[in-house]
Structure 1
């Protein structure tokens, strides 16, 4: 009998690890394409015969679609159920990487990357709904931080492995290795996650966010602009400063490690705070400082690029995890799946706008210095909005809870 109980405990622990692995992978696999653009950027520019600024359009195609679809992703996930949504996510990601392996033109790559945008739109609503339904309240903040760290695990994987594979087999082969991973994850998800009851009455109308959710969405938009532009052009900027492509990939890996530490460490801290808006304010201010350090980079002073990358990983990366944790702790923001979808829409909109805007500035008369400076301005704006959010929450000014559809939609 004791043996049976022990065996059951081992099975339960194994099931728990697989469950958490599914959540991490659901965040990692769709976002990996974003870090792949950053690490494989030099290879894409050479092979597709495009100027570096065009890389921003790849990010825009993915996250622009993700931002648009995120407006309806919450109701869709509620109707399908979390398990079915996660399986669909992994299948779509596998399809995207298969199309990337077959693409022979910049247009083909852009369309393949856009497919990943569909999976990205599902990731936060599906994982948040799974956590809301399956994780005890006292563990929610730590599980959110852990699953959000999956995004940075993808950065670590992209920085350490993809440039080496691309050197040997080409960038298409480097991405093609992800296809069987996605298919396997779809199967594992179906086996280890509990089937939930879909909400047949979920509405696909656009909903109006509460006032505090709207402020949080603006903050996440600013964070998305800065993060997306930073990662998309980090590899290209580093090579212009005299680094090799492999060393530039190591920068992304370091960014990933710092992001994992930040999200795993700061999200539980945010869960214990009375108002995590102050933590968001601090992170955004420090992110602006990190970009300011990067501006000082030159071929003879590359340490500032390493320092700035570490700073961005420890600060800006954690903002999305902290924001998602706030949604689960305070229902004034709205229902878990719907509010997560709307917050993701704002975050992804920032990802869509940031890289092409940065790319345009970097090729203008202001160059990279002007582009980096613009990111500092965006982060300062986000800091101001975070201060406004903290004041609103302290005064009890939540506004209407997200519930009613927008008229005419």
Structure 2
């Protein structure tokens, strides 16, 4: 059945761009710290492991707050949620800008976490309420690519500004960007009344009456429970997130310390992943929009991410800078797509009134992985004074992710055989 047309103001290009920016605003703090890590280490006299712990605190705060904020996203206006995202990140960056001690950076990290954890519930809710059904998966791909757009921006912006104005100037510049984006969002984000009118014009089917298809996984869900596949997605998000965020945080420092890249060139390696990640996330979303089965795509993602880890190991073993770029490209092509597949899958199985809660559960898994990945890799680097053990850990996280994905795929086959 074709969805009723929605006024252009509800699902405009401007709104799509704001959703992309909302996904990219929160990670500005993490990426800024990561690509400026060599400078911050020298300025504060801290270790690589302590840099990883900063990002761990960000994502621990995000994981702890994700369930509550996910439920909150179903209750408060989207415009209020944009305040939490954009101005929350701006506050974290402003605090970090004047951090003269490691502990103040950790305070900034705590502030940055909630701004990131609410971004998925907020943007998913807007898409379900303001975007026609046939366009939602495409919008998911574009808005999820905001994280990689943020990585691209950070890789180019923070090292260049930090070299000219120091970390303080770079962090304040990032805060100013967030404030400007929030002001622009006021024009494009629908009010609660506008979203309510859209929902009345094109209401979602009652979940108890509709059979929902996730690839070949068909279930009829009650109003109260979340589909079992949501918990599979949360586990996959955690395991893929461990490897993805460990790589995001330590790729620039790895390139600088192990292969003698400059600070700017190390940031460019992270930016390269971001450029490719933007394109790949849109490509993965198109596969989902074409009806691809999530578990099959996630198996491809896990296998490709393992190849990227092998490239980084080869770069360290044979001192081949070209393999750093190869690994960065594979990183962008593969694991960045996991969240697109998962979030598009959530929209298939979760009713509109529960999307915030389901997104919050998924975010808890993802941010738990994001917290553990940099922490473990940083500890391994501090203990061994090498990135080799860290890359092996990243490879193990992708192997486990692949194992859970295979379990989901087998569950899919069993349901198909019974139907």
Tell me the CA shift for residue 178 of structure 1. 2.2
Aligned to 2:203: none
2:347 paired with 1:351: no
Asked if 2 retains the 8 angstrom alpha-carbon contact of 1:284 and 1:380, the reply is: yes
- Say if 1:130 and 1:15 are closer, same or farther in 2 by CA, change over 3 A: closer
Give the length in aligned residue pairs: 380
Matched, 1:181 2:182: no
Q: Contact 2:74/2:354 (CA < 8 Å) preserved in 1?
A: no
- Residue in structure 1 matched with residue 235 of structure 2 by the alignment: 218
Aligned to 1:255: 273
Tell me the equivalent position of 1:92: 88
The alpha-carbon deviation at position 317 of structure 1 amounts to 0.6
CA shift in 2, pair 1:41/1:179, >3 Å:
same
Question: Deviation digits for residues 61-104 of structure 1, max 9, x if unmatched?
Answer: 11000011111112111111223212332121111111112211
Give the Cα separation in 1 of the matches to 2:101 and 2:309. Answer: 33
Q: CA deviation at 1:13?
A: 8.1
Render the CA deviation track for 1:46-66: whole Å, top value 9, x for unaligned.
Answer: 011001111111101110000
2:217 maps to what in 1? Answer: none
- Taking structure 1 as reference, are residues 64 and 333 closer, same or farther at Cα in structure 2, changes over 3 Å only? farther
TM-score, length basis structure 2: 0.86
Q: Contact 1:39 / 1:248 at 8 angstroms: preserved in 2?
A: yes
SS, match of residue 335 in structure 2 = coil
Q: Secondary structure at the match of 1:170?
A: helix
Matched, 1:296 2:314: yes
Contact 1:212 1:392 in 2 (8 A): no
The residue matched to 1:273 in structure 2 has which SS?
A: coil
For structure 2, list consecutive stretches of 5 or more residues without a partner in the other structure.
1-6, 197-223
Residue 369 of structure 1 corresponds to which residue in structure 2? 388
SS in 1 for 2:27: helix
Residue 338 of structure 1 and its aligned partner are, at CA, apart by 1.1
Alignment of 1:186-335 (within 5 A): 186-196=182-192, 210-240=227-257, 241-298=259-316, 300-331=319-350, 335=354
Greater mean alpha carbon deviation, residues 43-52 or residues 90-99 = 90-99
Alpha-carbon offset, residue 186 of structure 1 = 2.2
Q: TM-score, normalised by structure 1?
A: 0.88
Q: Over aligned residues, Cα RMSD in angstroms? A: 2.2
Q: Deviations over 1:268-300 (max 9, x none)?
A: 212222421110111011101110111011474
Match of 1:406 in 2: none
Which string of whole-angstrom CA distances, capped at 9 and with x for unpartnered residues, describes residues 228-274 of structure 1? 11111111111122111111011011010010011011112122224
Shift of 1:378: 1.0
Aligned: 1:22 with 2:18: yes
Q: Which residue is 1:33 aligned to?
A: 29
**Partner SS for 1:320:** helix
Q: Is the 8 A contact 2:227 2:350 kept in 1?
A: no
- The more displaced of 13-22 and 350-359 is 13-22
- Give the C-alpha shift of residue 330 in structure 1: 2.1
Q: Distance in 2 between matches of 1:289 and 1:25?
A: 30
Greater displacement, 267-276 / 257-266: 267-276
Displacement, 1:210? 3.8
Alignment of 1:106-121 (within 5 A): 106-121=102-117
Deviation (angstroms), 1:144: 0.6
Whether the 8 Å CA contact 2:226–2:350 is kept in 1: the answer is no
8 Å CA contact 1:63, 1:117 repeated in 2: yes
Residue 280 to residue 224, structure 1, CA distance change in 2 (3 Å):
same
Q: Does structure 1 conserve the Cα–Cα contact (< 8 Å) formed by 2:245 and 2:374?
A: yes
1:271–1:329 CA contact under 8 A, matched in 2:
no
Separation in 2, partners of 1:25, 1:265: 19
Partner Cα separation in structure 1 for residue 9 and residue 72 of structure 2: 31
Relative to structure 2, which stretch is displaced further, 151-160 or 175-184?
175-184
Indicate if the aligned counterparts of 2:10 and 2:190 stay in contact, CA closer than 8 A: no
Shift of 1:181: 2.3
Q: Distance in 2 between matches of 1:51 and 1:374?
A: 19
Equivalent residue in structure 2 for 1:383, among 380, 402, 415:
402
Asked if the contact 2:10/2:130 (under 8 Å) is kept, the reply is: no
